[in-house]
């Protein structure tokens, strides 16, 4: 004999579901009406009859090129200045030919104990017979 398990049904009644759907639709309609533009007059000086000052080429370059470059430079200074003040190296020295071990000992493999000693923890699951 097999037992059929039906999917879990909502504990809410159909009437409660219909009421919830109607409330969601009504809330959407009310929000759409509230978001309608206000019917106010345009303040003086904002209207279309006043002349707009045009932006010359030098001003446009300053705004669209100079401002982002200035922001980039300020962020770079904010990132690198604390490390420079502490005297840290900003770039790794690849001229020595050393291998970089991320997350390993700072002095490289020289800090690790010899793998063939009894106190070594290097390699494998350290099984003993």
CA dist list (Å): 24 to 13, 20, 29, 127? 17, 6, 9, 65
Measured distance CA(71)–CA(62) in Å, rounded: 12
* CA 113, 118, 124, 125 torsion-angle sign: negative
**Residue pLDDT, tens place only, 30-87:** 888 887 666 667 777 776 555 556 778 898 899 999 999 999 999 999 999 998 898 8
pLDDT tier at 29, thresholds 50, 70, 90: confident
**pTM for the predicted model, two decimal places:** 0.36
Tokens at 81, concatenated: 């200045």
């Amino acid at each position: 004999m097999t037992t059929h398990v039906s999917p879990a049904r909502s504990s809410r009644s159909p009437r409660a579901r219909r009421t919830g759907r109607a409330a969601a639709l009504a809330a959407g309609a009310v929000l759409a009406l509230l978001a309608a533009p206000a019917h106010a007059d345009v303040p003086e000086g904002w209207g279309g009859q006043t002349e707009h000052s045009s932006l010359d080429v030098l001003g446009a370059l300053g705004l669209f090129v100079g401002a982002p470059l200035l922001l980039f430079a300020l962020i770079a200074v904010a990132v690198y200045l604390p490390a420079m003040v502490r005297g840290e190296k900003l770039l790794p020295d690849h001229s020595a030919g050393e291998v970089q071990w991320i997350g390993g000992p700072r002095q490289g493999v020289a800090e690790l104990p010899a793998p063939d000693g009894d106190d070594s923890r290097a390699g494998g699951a350290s099984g003993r017979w």
